[in-house]
Structure 1
Amino acid sequence: MKEELKRIREYLMTGVSYMIPIVVIGGVLIAFSIALSGVQAGKGAVVTNPVLKSMMDIGTASFSMMVPVLAGFIAFGIADRPGLAPGLVGGVLANQLKAGFLGGIIAGFIAGYVARWIKSWRVPKNLRPIMPIFVIPLLSALIVGFLMIYILGNPISSAMTAMTNWLKSMSTGNAVILAMIMGAMIAFDMGGPVNKVAFLFAAAMIGEGVYTIMGPVAVAICIPPLGMGVATLLAPTSTLKQKRKQGMVHLQWG
């Protein structure tokens, strides 16, 4: 049981690791386009410059790929290449059904395990060459697609909608508590599974229109390297030369 849970975590981390560059592209481009556009009274951030608007559109397009990439590479981690396409299909359906990142995760695991199950079938020798490029992706995509459309999509979408509405309606006090929890998770294992769960949640909420979570997460990400860099500056003689170099690198990263 423990080994299986470890493998499930590895599959999830595979999806997250491939998703992170997508989040970075979308987040940076959207942030720059808004920051350079300024704020209009009563309207908030309004992007009117054509170049900045194009930048924002590129960032938005990047974010639209977040859930499919997450689902696709979770399935890839489970079943290798035959699982990738069905996972991507499941992720796109999760987007269309407004099932969000939770739907993407579930679709990715279903696609991966179904593809791996079909890979285990004993088939005639003349069918084996087309199994990984035709039969496995096709059948897996059909199964995960039907499950998402007819069974899982609406319940997951309802759960995501409820969670999103709850986060949007949080009072200031609760938001502070949430920020403290997310920050603690980010710094807990320095890039490990707990850190990635917090980052995934914050990134996914951007896609749902909740922007207040990523701010505390982004700040928390900077604190450990900044702390190491500042410590190196304040006490340069108390560390080895190699560690001093690392401390300065961490300061730049922070």
Structure 2
Amino acid sequence: MTKIVAVTNCPAGIAHTYMVAEAIEEKAKSLGYEVHVETQGASGVENKLTTEQIAEADYVILAIGKGLTDHDKERFNQKKVVELPVSEALKHIDTLFDDLEANSHVLSSSKVKLGADQETVTEGVMSYLMAGVSAALPFVIGGGLLIAIGSMMVQFGMPNTPLGKGTEPSLAWIITSIGNLGFQFMIPIMGAYIAYAISDKPAFAPAFLVTFLANDNQLLGTDSGAGFLGAIVIGLSIGYFVKYFKKLKLGKNFQSVLGYMIIPFVTLLVFGLLTYFLLGPAMAWLMSVMLSFLQNIPTSMKIVGGFIVGAMLAFDMGGPINKTAWFFSFSLLSSHVFNWYGIVGVVTLLPPMAAAIATWIKPSIFSKQERAASWSAFLVGMTVATEPAIPYALAAPLPMITANTLAGGITGALTIFLNVERTAPGIGIFDPLIGLESPWYWFYLCVAVGLALNVLFIITFKSHWLKKQAEKEAKAA
């Protein structure tokens, strides 16, 4: 029996990671293979592959979006590896196992890149940025939920008394203060993990501390912190600095302390001073200009921006364009700008839910498999995971992607116009119920309008597309 082990991960560690793992398991088992899949998601490593499972495996499948650590590469050293971006795995699941021998290559742990296409998966600025975002997510989610709970406690009449001389703080104030720590440390942890993704542990502590420094506006004497722009610049700079620093040969006596003492010390000293005198103030000024622009742009321009962000979110359903718009909106949370992330909370619900509703309204334009998957797509789509819409888009790319993109753009414009705000990642359609999206009435109005438009566009465009396809086939016959 052919034995296979697999690893799945994605930048956010939420949807793709687990959906691809399930797809690989189901497909491999249907072919009679023994399969074990390790997921590296938002909850950490689950179903961790044992040394024995890896040793006995005939092939290793790596469906990854945020790369592998050096430890992972060592685990699979000299194994036959089949690799592909996690965002492509669902599209190619039916052919993934067709010719494993021809499509695999022997992995050498000494290589930085796993294969010809791996640069786009494990390397590149976007993958490093998404590694930082993935690490920051738990801070924002936990902090956002605590702030929402504290706010609801106050709304129900509980006191919001701060700590002061002779006064005890109230429970609502304590919970809110703990939640605020999530937003305070979100940016330093993002910068630290961007650097970590580039050059591993030696870069982590310096990047964390220097990014924290860049966001301490009182210490820097600036109007604001460097925000996510500072995290990006500092994380990338320290990451590449350490990457090349690690190649330095200091001789037998000092090489052993290079990684845990010399590199962190020198990096922290160099970038600490550089950030205090130059990078911090410069990035803080740039962040202030950008925030001022976003807050003061005319409504017409804001609507255009909302259309663009919404269209990008709906276009490739978890792909690079979607991730770019998501990263921009998410990164503004640390600066307490919540309306752009409000677009994310609305638009990412639309493609899978609309596809499901369209199958119920006009089942004749969908296949039996698409109709059978409709409830799953609808329920998963309610959690802002757009991936269930991918099979529908693959079956009819032009009409489905056009419908999703147009509906997403219009809904994004409406959402920003109504100033719907989302304070943290949550549970999708129920976010207003736990205080993460407001005003709740505008949120549900935008979702309703978006779904109505998306369903209408899907039925109209796909019906026309199928009619044209039938006419072409008739002419060819």
One-letter identity of the residue aligned with 1:121: L
Shift in alpha-carbon separation, 1:229–1:19, aligned structure 2, 3 A: farther
Query: Which deviates more, 132-141 or 53-62?
Result: 53-62
Partner of 1:246: 376
- Give me the whole-angstrom Cα distance separating, in 2, the residues matched to 1:109 and 1:11: 8
2:199, 2:243 within 8 Å by CA — same for their partners in 1?
yes
| Structure 1 equivalent of residue 444 of structure 2 | none
Amino acid at match of 2:132: G
2:351 and 2:174 mapped to 1: Cα distance? Answer: 34
Q: Percent identity?
A: 31
CA distance in 1, matches of 2:356, 2:383: 9
CA shift, 1:242, in A, is 6.0
Q: Give the letter aligned to residue 301 of structure 2.
A: N
Which residue identity is paired with 2:291? T
- 8 Å Cα contact 1:111-1:141 kept in structure 2: no
- Structure 2 equivalent of residue 43 of structure 1: none
The 1:212–1:121 alpha-carbon spacing in structure 2 relative to 1, beyond 3 Å, is same
**How far apart in 2 are the matches of 1:141 and 1:59?**
28
CA gap of 1:104–1:228, structure 2 versus 1, over 3 A, is same
Q: More helix by proportion, 1 or 2?
A: 1
Contact 2:249 2:255 in 1 (8 A): no
Does 1:162 find its partner at 2:282? no
2:130 is the counterpart of 1:13: yes
1:92 aligns with 2:219: no
Distance (Å, rounded) in 2 between the aligned partners of 1:74 and 1:202? 18
Please point out which of 249, 258, 262 is paired with 1:131: 258
For residues 225 and 22 of structure 1, do their structure 2 counterparts lie closer, same or farther at Cα, with a shift above 3 Å needed? farther
Name the SS of the counterpart of 1:190 in structure 2: coil
Moved more, 93-102 or 66-75: 93-102
Q: Which amino acid letter does the alignment assign opposite residue 76 of structure 1?
A: Y
2:238, 2:267 within 8 Å by CA — same for their partners in 1?
yes
Following superposition, the deviation at residue 201 of structure 1 comes to: 2.3
1:28 aligns with 2:145: yes
Q: Residue type matched to 1:155 in 2?
A: A
**Residues 103 and 185 from structure 1, CA distance in 2 versus in 1: closer, same or farther, beyond 3 angstroms?**
same
Relative to 1, partners in 2 of residues 1:251 and 1:208: Cα closer, same or farther, differing over 3 Å?
A: closer
Moved more, 107-116 or 167-176: 167-176
| Pair member with larger Rg | 2
Q: Which amino acid aligns with 1:135?
A: I
Superposed displacement of residue 170, structure 1: 2.8
- Within the alignment, does 1:203 sit opposite 2:330 as a pair? yes
- The one-letter code sitting in structure 2 at the alignment partner of 1:177 is V
RCO higher in 1 or 2 (8 Å CA, sep ≥ 6)? 1
In the aligned structure 2, how far is the partner of 1:132 from the partner of 1:103?
Answer: 24
Deviation at 1:39, TM superposition (A): 10
Cα offset, 1:210, TM superposition: 2.1
Amino acid at match of 1:13: M
Q: What is the rounded CA distance, in whole Å, between the counterparts of 2:383 and 2:360 in structure 1? A: 15
Unpaired segments ≥5 residues, structure 2 = 1-116, 162-169, 218-224, 385-477
Counterpart among 153, 170, 174 of residue 301 in structure 2: 174
Change (3 A) 1:66 1:221: same
TM-score computed with the length of structure 1 as normaliser: 0.84
AA matched with 2:134: S
- Distance in 2 of aligned mates of 1:233 and 1:54: 48
Task: Report the count of equivalent residues.
Answer: 248
- Indicate whether 1:184 and 2:311 are aligned: yes
For residue 157 of structure 1, report the CA deviation from its aligned partner: 0.9
Cα RMSD, aligned residues only: 2.9
Aligned residue in 2 for 1:119: 246
The structure that is strand-richer by fraction is 2
SS in 2 for 1:121: coil
- Say if 2:199 and 2:240, in contact at 8 Å, map to a contact too: yes
Counterpart-to-counterpart distance in 1, 2:153 and 2:310: 27
- SS at 2:257 equivalent: helix
The reply to whether residue 149 of structure 1 matches residue 276 of structure 2 is yes
Which of 64, 74, 78 is equivalent to 2:198?
Answer: 78
Partner amino acid for 2:202?
A: P
Aligned counterpart, 2:402: none
2:256 partner SS: helix
1:63 deviates by 0.6
Residue identity opposite 1:145 in structure 2:
G
Cα offset for 1:35?
Answer: 4.8
Q: 1:214 to 1:38 in 2, by over 3 A?
A: farther
Report the CA distance between 1:181 and its aligned residue.
1.8
**Gaps (5+ residues) in structure 1?**
41-45
Match of 2:171 in 1: 51
Cα distance in 1, alignment partners of residues 156 and 342 from structure 2: 18
- Report whether the alignment pairs 1:104 with 2:231: yes
Give a deviation string over 1:183-209, Cα, whole Å, max 9, x none: 222223322333333233223322223
Supply the AA of the counterpart residue of 2:201: R
1:69 is matched by which residue type in structure 2?
Answer: I
